[in-house]
Amino acid sequence: MPWTDAKNLAQGARIVKAVRRANTGLIVDPIHFDRAGESPDTLRALPAEWFGYVQFCAAPADKPADLQTLLYQARCERMIPGEGGIDLTGILRALPDDLPLSIECPLESWAQSVNALTRAKRLREATLAVLDGAYASH
Residue at 94 is within a domain? yes
Residue at 101 is within a domain? yes
What is the value of pTM for the model shown?
A: 0.84
Per-residue pLDDT tens over the stretch 46-98: 999 889 889 999 999 989 889 888 888 888 888 899 998 999 999 999 999 88
SS3 category, 126:
helix
- CATH number of domain containing 116: 3.20.20.150
Exposed / middle / buried, residue 133 (Cβ in 10 Å: 0-12, 13-18, 19+): middle
DSSP annotation of 50: G
Residue at 3 is within a domain? no
Residue at 106 is within a domain? yes
- For 60-91, the three-class secondary structure string (H helix, E strand, C coil) is CCCCCCCHHHHHHHHHHECECCCCCCCCHHHH
Residue 24: per-residue pLDDT:
78
Residue at 104 is within a domain? yes
- Mean of per-residue pLDDT scores for the chain: 87
Domain that holds residue 14: 9-135
pLDDT at 111 over 70: yes
Residue at 52 is within a domain? yes
Domain count of the fold of the chain: 1
Contact present, 133 and 92 (Cβ < 8 Å):
no
Distances (CA, A) of 68 to 36, 95, 133: 15, 30, 33
